Amino acid sequence: MSIQSLPPVSSLIIDCDPGVDDAVALMLAFAAPELELLAVTTVGGNVPAHTTQRNARILRQIAGREDVPVHGGAERPLKRPPAGAGEFHGPEGLGDLEPFEPTGIIGDGPAVNAIVDLVMKRPAGSTAIAVLGPMTNLALAMKRERRLAEHLGPVVVMGGARSEGGNITASAEFNIWADPDAAAVVLGSGCEVIAFSLDVTHQVRATEERIRAVEKIKTPSAKTVASMLRFSQRIERRIVGWPTPDWGAPLHDPCPVAWLIQPALFELRPCRIEVETVSDLTRGHTAVEFRVDPTTARHRWAVAADAQGVFDLIVDKLKAPE
């Protein structure tokens, strides 16, 4: 059964590990007036934590959104050694973009405190969090504030894989694999989780035509997005392969943000998601059970996407006057 949700909530925290696709997700959120972006929190993942925090501040500055505080977060997963995916994001995490020392404030206090404080001081269910990297910050926040899970609005996650198989191992997607213990905390907390896994992000590919549509927009944000997409296109060809002429690199992290702006772009199914935290072979595997009562299920799995609609949304928001 698909669930075409109404626009959920507008107050949003984005927790991320920029990362080139995180960068596209941030640029979309920075340009979307529908979203009240309360804060960006960063975590070690694609590249180390100090680099993801710097990168979030760089992207915020390019987008002209220094009104949004950036709070640095966890340097390592709850129990595992720090992960990394620099081969897909470049050594500095921003693809071909030359990093610079950003201006603008660093948020007052660490990510965990920011998540707890921002959510708990607002009405229950009114604040969503988009988790676009390992779930370490959110898991730590839930441990710090036991009421957080029930007070949170939708937790929209880029993570997991079922029908698509894994991208970091045969059976696991990178974000969940990097910190499976944190994923288990969040998935077991009772909060509402909407998962945008490889099953759906692999349907949303940055084809040549879609990249060119972004390149036609002459703004700093659009130029940055195009640069990230071009970098991913080159990496995809070299590391993963290019099976057909109209192929493209999958666009992972913008999917949860696109859903928050325009839910009708995706089809969701109620489910129960559990994660492997013991086996080394299947560490981070997401076991998705669709045989649930749809009226009580707390998890949903995105199963289909209007890929062109996602890119049209990104172009539409980037075109809007900055």
Question: Of 85, 155, 182, 273, which one interacts with ligand RIB (CB under 6 A)?
Answer: 85
Q: Distance (Å, rounded) from C-alpha 84 to C-alpha 246?
A: 29
Q: Is 276 in the site for ligand RIB (CB under 6 A)?
A: no
What the block records as the tokens of 296 is: 């009580």
Q: Distance (Å, rounded) from C-alpha 157 to C-alpha 240?
A: 24
Grouping H, G, I as helix, E, B as strand and the rest as coil, residue 270 is: strand
How many residues belong to the site for ligand RIB (CB under 6 A)? 16
Q: Is 133 in the site for ligand RIB (CB under 6 A)?
A: yes
Q: Distance (Å, rounded) from C-alpha 316 to C-alpha 311?
A: 8
- Strand pairing report for 36-42 and 70-71: parallel
Site for Ca ion in 101-140 (CB under 5 A): 132-133
Catalytic residue among 151, 252, 285, 299: 252
Interacting span for Ca ion (CB under 5 A) from 9-17, 79-87, 109-117, 213-221:
9-17
Q: Is 155 in the site for ligand RIB (CB under 6 A)?
A: no
Active site residue 252: yes
Task: Tell me which DSSP letter residue 129 carries.
Answer: E
> Which candidate, 43, 95, 90, 32, places its Cα nearest to that of 230?
95
Question: 229-268 mask for ligand RIB (x: CB under 6 A)?
Answer: -----------------------xx---------------
In which order are the strands placed within the sheet that holds 266-275? 70-71, 36-42, 11-16, 127-131, 155-158, 193-196, 299-305, 266-275, 286-289
Grouping H, G, I as helix, E, B as strand and the rest as coil, residue 99 is: coil
Q: Is 224 in the site for ligand RIB (CB under 6 A)?
A: no
Q: Nearer to ligand RIB by C-beta: 21 or 179?
A: 21
What the block records as the tokens of 187 is: 């998935």
Q: Nearer to Ca ion by C-beta: 55 or 233?
A: 55
Question: Of 24, 27, 28, 132, which one interacts with ligand RIB (CB under 6 A)?
Answer: 132
Among Ca ion, ligand RIB, none, what does residue 71 contact (CB within 5–8 Å per kind)? Answer: none
Cα distance between the two ends of the chain: 39
Which residues sit at the interface with Ca ion, rule CB under 5 A?
17, 19, 22, 132-133, 253
Residue numbers annotated as active site: 252
